[in-house]
Structure formats: structure tokens, C-alpha cells
Amino acid sequence: MGMLSLAIWTPIAFGIVLLALGRDEQAQSVRWLSLVGAIVSFLVTLPLYAGFKLDTAEMQFVEKASWIERFNVNYHLGVDGISLWLIILTAFINVVVIIAGWEVITRKVNQYMAAFLILSGLMIGVFSALDGLLFYVFFEATLIPMYLIIGIWGGPNKIYAAFKFFLYTLLGSLLTLIALIFLYIQSGGSFDIATWHELPLSATAQNFLFFAFFAAFAVKVPMWPVHTWLPDVHVEAPTGGSAVLAAIMLKLGAYGFLRFSMPIAPDAAQEWGSFMIVLSLVAVIYVGLVAMMQQDMKKLVAYSSVAHMGFVTLGFFIFNPLGVSGGLVQMIAHGFVSAGMFLSIGVLYDRVHSREIASYGGVVNTMPKFAAFALLFAMANCGLPGTAGFVGEWMVILGAVKFDFVVGLLAASALIFGAAYTLWMFKRVYLGPVTNDDVKELTDINAREFTVMALLAIAVLYMGLYPKPFTDVMEVSVANLLEHVAVSKLP
């Protein structure tokens, strides 16, 4: 079994064991078993980084076996500089989320833990699939555990949120399914993504494909104006669900743009580049302003996620190495930071059971250790140099200025909004005198919560201070992708 198969199937196998054997009476052993599962699953992704060759854009750790002979579908896996860190990030966040759900979840613990483990395996599958149908199967299958996570352990309006999440994203991906079938037939019976990259396509076909992919990936990212599902879903999802959703699931969409839209329909991507840039800028600026007006912490962070993902898509569609690498770095940084933000809200929510900013104030007085972590994540969220949030945004802005000064200027202005909504929220929740009885009775984070926060804080700082391991991995693959996109595929 190859390294990638191991990374995909280890968490899924643990998930199945938990589903089969777990009982609510033995919740404690279920928790430990899932933690072991998550850690083992994380450890098996590390050799991918250790054995990764930096000087080639070829797919590495390739595995290929016939899966569905009749449609020439292969179980074909591989990583390149674009997907490597996303896989490791997925496995890492999974560990964090399992610890974060430890005693918070008391009902159906085995199903909760199994859902996250299986989800993490499926998402690693999405990032490593080199076969179009295999990609789609993993991509769609992620909906099932997430639907259950939101619906079973979510907030008061969880059913609405679960349905909105499932149907909204399904609508997009069904159109993509037709695009995949179309490509299968155009390429004379192949689901191989690399074959599709080389396939000449007419302008009409490319436009059709670009928008069919756009339907799935833009909803998933989510880009303005199809972002409306995200705030609703985040608000109702349990803390762990929100963290995984923001940290990883949104990246599935952005990754799709890089793997499908841009290389398969490069001419359409160039043609519609400015359209994508405008949508991204609207997300960055307008949604940033919307975030400022939120009364609900989770909603605020959800809108902030949309704005940050706007940076990612902006970086992709300015078609220069700084922009694309910046977008990728931003994806990973946002993975750490948004997970940190959502888990911080979770810590407060578990104690006070309110997400309203107005219910807090002066938390720093009763929870100093926690407030320090929260400050770090807040700073990273507004892109303070030295934190993970800075690197990606700075690269994207640099790329944008190179591309067009006005675009760069508009993108940069978003940093101000980002700082405004994040710091204003921080001020209202953490600083000032304690005016609320609930806040007076708060106890600081325990060792388990400290571990969660510390793991993420280390990642945020490490990436901010020494981003080289991240950018080095991407460099060759990004250059190769852009080279490919620059060549017309019109027949």
C-alpha cells in the first residue's frame, strides 16, 4: 500500500472501527481510540513531506490501479507542490478537532469522532486524486459526514443549516458531474486529469467547462455572490464542524480551480480572469464590510473566511507566480487561523452558551491565558507580520500590484477592513471591564484546551516566521501550472 493510500484509508478504517464498536457507555475509550487514530493518520502523512522532491513538478508518490474497467476509471493518486501541504494540513486539523471535541460531545461520541475521521480521509482523497471520477467521488462523499455533523450536533437551527449546506453544494457539483462526463467523452474515454490537461478544446467547450466547474468550486470556496450558505451553516455547526469546514472544506473548492478550471480550460480562464478578479475583490471588500456589522462572533468569522478566500481566488486569477503561490499559502494559513478562531469561539461558547458579542466583555480579566491565544489568532486573522496570515496576503498583494496597480490597491485596502472587524470584535469580547455575570464566573482554559490552542499557535507562528518550507514546495509546481495555463488549448 502506498503512502497516499495509507493517508486516506487509515482515518477511514479507524472511523469504521469506531462506528462498529463504539458505545456511549464507553465514551472515554472511544475518545482515546479516536485520538490515537487521528495521530496515527497525521503521522502517516509526514513521510510525504520528508520524501518530497522539490525540484520537479511531476506527480510524486503515484499509485495507479484499475478501478472501474468499463469506464476506464483508475484508482490514481499522487501529490505535487500544490496538494502536499493541504494533505498534511487536513490530517493536522483533524487531530486538533478531535481533541477539541473531547468532553464537549457527550451524545453518540463514537459517531462524532468517526464522522471527523472519515471526513478527513475523504478530504485527503480529494487532494490526492488524479482521476476525475475518483476526485468527484471523494468530493461528493464529504457531504455525507458533514451533513450529519451539522445535523446531529449542531445548534438550534441545525436542520435548516444541514439542508442548506447539502443542497447548495450538491447543486454546484451535479453540474460538474456533467462536465466530467463531457470531458470523458471528448477525450475518447478517459477520466485521467493529466490527459484532460493536454486535451485541445474549442472555445465554446472551454467556456461550458469553466462555468460548470465554477458552479461547484465557487460555491465551495465560497465566492461572492454564492457565499450565503456559509454564515448560516457556520452559526449552527458544532465548533469542530465549523473548524473543519473553514479550515479544509473551503479549500476543496479553491483546489478545484487550480486542478480543473485553470489547466483544463486555460483560454476560458484567461478570458474570464477579470470576471473572477472582480468577484474576488467584491468578496474581499464588500464581505469584509459585512463582517464588521455582525453581532454574532461565528457569523463574523464566517464572513471573514469569505473575505480571506477572496484573496485566494484573487491570487489565482492574476496568473503570476507570486499570486498563485500567495493564494496557496493563504489557503494553508487560513486553515490554521480560522480553525484557531472557531475553536476560540467554541471555548467561550462551551462556558457561556452564547455567540453574541454583546454577551461578553472583559474576558481577559478572567481568562488571561486564553485571551493571549485569542489575541494571537486575531492578529493572524488581520495579517500581522510574523504570523501566518501575513505571508499569503502580502504575496497576493504584491502579485496584484504587479498585475494592475488598482487591483493591488483595492486588495490592500482589505487589510484595513480585516484589522477593523477582527480587532473591534477582540476589543468588545476580551477587553474592557467585566460587566456580565457570566464572564465573571469564567474559568480559564484547562490543559486539553491549552493543548489545542498551543498546537495551532505554534503552527501560526512557525508559518509566519519561517514560511520557506511552504513556499519551497509550491514553487516548481506553480511555475509549471502557469506555464501550462499560458499556452492556448484551442484546436
Partner 1 sequence: MIDSTSLMTVYPEIVLLVMACVIALVDLLVTSPKRTVTYVLSLVSLGGVALLHAFYADSGHTLYGFGRLVVSDPMGHWLKCFATIAVMVTLVYARPYAADRDMLRGGEIFSLSVFALLGMSVMISGQNFLVLYLGLELLTLSSYALVALRRDNAQATEAAMKYFVLGAMASGFLLYGMSMLYGATGSLDLATVFKVIASGQVKHQVLVFGLVFVVSGLAFKLGVVPFHMWVPDVYQGAPTAATLMIAGAPKLAAFAITIRLLVEGLLPMAIDWQQMLALLAIASLLVGNLAAIAQTNLKRMLAYSTIAQMGFVLIGLMSGVVSGNAAMGANAYSSAMFYVIAYVLTTLATFGIILLLARQGFESEEITDLAGLNNRSPLYAGVMAICMFSLAGIPPMVGFYAKLSVLQALVASGQTADIALAVFAVTMSLIGAFYYLRVVKVMYFDEAVTATTVTADTDVRIVLSLNGLLVLVLGIVPGALMSLCARSVTQMLAN
The only residue of 31, 76, 158, 351 in contact with partner 1, by rule CB under 8 A: 158
The only residue of 102, 116, 184, 349 in contact with partner 1, by rule CB under 8 A: 184
**Smaller CB separation from partner 1, 166 or 421:** 166
Say whether residue 17 binds partner 1 (CB under 8 A).
no
Count of residues engaged in binding partner 1, rule: CB under 8 A: 37
Distance CA(391)–CA(461), nearest Å, equals 11
- Reported residue count of the chain is 491
**Smaller CB separation from partner 1, 161 or 473:** 161
Grid cell at residue 425: 470584535
Q: Are 268 and 297 in contact (CB under 8 A)?
A: no
Q: Are 85 and 392 in contact (CB under 8 A)?
A: no
In the complex, least distance from residue 388 CB atom to partner 1, rounded to whole angstroms: 33
Distance CA(121)–CA(101), nearest Å, equals 18
**Smaller CB separation from partner 1, 177 or 476:** 177
Say whether residue 9 binds partner 1 (CB under 8 A).
no
In the complex, least distance from residue 72 CB atom to partner 1, rounded to whole angstroms: 11
**Smaller CB separation from partner 1, 171 or 454:** 171
The only residue of 175, 375, 384, 479 in contact with partner 1, by rule CB under 8 A: 175
The only residue of 171, 293, 454, 486 in contact with partner 1, by rule CB under 8 A: 171
**Smaller CB separation from partner 1, 184 or 377:** 184
Beta bridge partners of 77: 63, 129
* Radius of gyration in angstroms for the set of CA atoms belonging to the chain, rounded to a whole number: 21
What is the 8-class DSSP label of residue 67? E
- Report the candidate in 314, 288, 279 with the shortest Cα–Cα distance to residue 415: 288
Say whether residue 144 binds partner 1 (CB under 8 A).
yes
Distance CA(383)–CA(247), nearest Å, equals 16
Q: How far is CA 435 from the centre of its chain?
A: 36
Beta bridge partners of 129: 77
Grid cell at residue 431: 477587553
Distance CA(118)–CA(147), nearest Å, equals 13
By CB under 8 A, the residues from 239 to 278 that bind partner 1 are none
The only residue of 170, 375, 401, 476 in contact with partner 1, by rule CB under 8 A: 170
The only residue of 78, 132, 151, 323 in contact with partner 1, by rule CB under 8 A: 151
The only residue of 14, 112, 127, 136 in contact with partner 1, by rule CB under 8 A: 136
By CB under 8 A, the residues from 80 to 119 that bind partner 1 are 108, 111
Say whether residue 185 binds partner 1 (CB under 8 A).
yes
Say whether residue 167 binds partner 1 (CB under 8 A).
yes
Distance CA(35)–CA(75), nearest Å, equals 28
Grid cell at residue 471: 513556499
Distance CA(62)–CA(74), nearest Å, equals 12
Q: Which residues bind partner 1 (CB under 8 A)?
A: 19, 66-71, 73, 108, 111, 133, 136-137, 140-141, 143-144, 147-148, 151-152, 158-159, 162-163, 166-167, 170-171, 174-175, 177-178, 181-182, 184-185
